[in-house]
């Protein structure tokens, strides 16, 4: 028997929307004008002249999920993630394609999914269980465990409409996870709970998977996706941008592509500048021959160049520069700091260049970003977020281990021998 528990085949969802009128008269319309526009719109529809256009929220998405898998669904806002879960959960019907689920499904798509606001927490536990096909006896068997996990025992007989959003999420997740659906859809709701509950929830999701359940998990937190999911799929503009595969590959693809489309110029990435002080004007990376580099290479020489300018009369003493190298997930890998290495710098001209030379770039292959911080006597003058976003290449010098890809953040030169 196949262990495929969910199959999506060319799932697509089309909506009909009215195009924006831009800067036209409808931007500041009055009530009378709005009523007139509505009347004209109804007349146009009656004459088959409706000016609505087709918008594909999801288009030809196909994949298979197997028992015990935790699948991350990632993408930018508007990529189609929530639409996909709504189609899988049969909250809305697809325009074309189909989804086949072999088993019981639980959904946790937004705060209060499946809850009735006028009913108490106790009543909603039984209601939610019945919705996903549980018998009353099965719900009773799990009832105490659900309540204990949620931490809302004191308010169990209070109408849910009086719950905070965090309390509602805790109870909803507890119900969905403890009633052991074969497929569980989770859409970004865990971000509402506190840190302690998030950790409990992640542990519970892993437990559900260990018992053969399949989880489809939508989140913008890439660290959570990487640590929790064993596979992931990337959506972009309603289409599959990276097919279902290993999580690390999907996350790297999403972050690199997402950030490159928003790749900041110096002016756009600037934060915290104080007018009248010194500012960064350009960032570049060059090899020993002065050739500009688009991709860095592990173990190869590189020089980081940061050009600056200052206003008339500004002191050029006591300047420090930090070149912050981060993983694509935001973890700080290295801080190339002029003050720690060379002390405070005294700039010699109103405009000039600061340079940091590395004989061997020590970062292991992967995706990185580089940010810049310029300070003077402890005061930040200029900060450029993501001045560079790109790849570190192995240059063909590093071999893959039989245990897996080259890993870690740094490549340390080693001398091995067998005695």
Contact 167, 117 (CB under 8 A): no
Helix ranges, 193-241 (H): 195-210, 222-228
What residue spans in the chain does CATH classification 3.40.50.300 cover? 4-8+59-261
- Residue range 231-251, pLDDT digits in tens: 999 999 899 999 999 998 898
Q: How many angstroms separate the CA atoms of 364 and 397, rounded?
A: 11
What residue spans in the chain does CATH classification 2.70.50.60 cover? 266-393
Q: How many angstroms separate the CA atoms of 324 and 331, rounded?
A: 10
Contact 267, 384 (CB under 8 A): no
Per CATH, the homologous superfamily of domain 4-8+59-261 is P-loop containing nucleotide triphosphate hydrolases (3.40.50.300)
Which ranges of the chain have pLDDT less than 70? 1-2, 17-52, 110-114, 132, 189-195, 258-265, 267-269, 271-276, 396-407
Q: How many angstroms separate the CA atoms of 136 and 141, rounded?
A: 9
pLDDT at 25: 41
- Element housing 40 (H / E): helix 31-46
Residues in the chain, overall count: 419
Question: Is this model's pTM higher than 0.85 or not?
Answer: no
**Residue 286, SS3?**
strand
pLDDT at 49: 46
Residue ranges of E strands in 36-178: 53-66, 70-74, 96-101, 105-108
> What does 161-193 look like in DSSP terms, one character per residue?
GGS-HHHHHHHHHHHHHHT--SEEEEESGGGGS
| The CATH number of the domain covering residues in 266-393 | 2.70.50.60
**Cα atoms in the Cβ-side hemisphere of radius 13 Å centred on 120:** 10
pLDDT at 312: 81
């Amino acid at each position: 028997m196949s262990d495929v528990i969910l199959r999506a085949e060319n799932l697509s969802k089309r909506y009909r929307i009215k195009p924006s009128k831009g800067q036209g008269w409808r931007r500041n319309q009055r009530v009378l004008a709005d009523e007139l526009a509505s009347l004209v719109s109804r007349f146009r529809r009656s004459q088959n002249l409706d000016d609505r256009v087709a918008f594909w929220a999801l288009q030809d998405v196909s994949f298979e999920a197997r028992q015990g898998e935790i699948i991350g669904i990632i993408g930018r806002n508007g990529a189609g993630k929530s639409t996909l879960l709504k189609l899988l959960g049969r909250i809305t019907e697809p325009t074309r394609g189909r989804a086949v689920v072999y088993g019981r499904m639980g959904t946790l798509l937004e705060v209060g999914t499946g809850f009735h606001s006028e009913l108490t927490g106790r009543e909603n536990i039984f209601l939610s269980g019945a919705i996903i096909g549980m018998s009353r006896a099965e719900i009773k068997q799990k009832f105490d465990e659900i309540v204990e996990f949620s931490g809302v025992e004191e308010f169990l007989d209070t109408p849910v409409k009086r719950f905070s959003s965090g309390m509602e999420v805790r109870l909803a997740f507890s119900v969905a996870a403890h009633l052991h659906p074969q497929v569980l859809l989770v859409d970004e709701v865990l971000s509402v709970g506190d840190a302690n509950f998030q950790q409990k929830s992640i542990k519970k999701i892993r437990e559900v998977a260990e018992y053969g359940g399949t989880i489809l998990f939508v989140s913008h937190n890439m660290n959570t996706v990487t640590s929790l999911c064993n596979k992931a799929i990337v959506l972009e503009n309603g289409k599959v941008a990276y097919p279902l595969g290993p999580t690390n590959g999907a996350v790297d693809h999403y972050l690199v592509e997402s950030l490159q489309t928003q790749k900041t110029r110096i002016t756009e990435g600037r934060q915290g500048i104080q007018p009248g002080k010194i500012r960064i004007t350009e960032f570049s990376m060059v090899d020993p021959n002065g050739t500009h580099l688009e991709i860095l290479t592990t173990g190869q020489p590189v020089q980081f160049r940061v050009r600056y300018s200052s206003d008339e009369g500004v002191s050029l003493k006591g300047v420090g520069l930090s070149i912050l190298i981060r993983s694509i997930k935001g973890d700080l890998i290295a801080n190339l700091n002029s003050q720690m290495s060379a002390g405070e710098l005294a700039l010699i001209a109103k405009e000039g260049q600061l340079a940091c030379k590395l004989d061997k770039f020590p970062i292991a292959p992967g995706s990185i970003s580089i940010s810049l911080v310029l300070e003077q006597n402890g005061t930040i003058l200029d900060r450029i977020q993501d001045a560079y976003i790109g790849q570190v290449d192995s240059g063909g010098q590093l071999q893959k281990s039989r245990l897996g890809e080259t890993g870690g953040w740094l490549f340390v030169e080693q001398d091995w021998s067998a005695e």
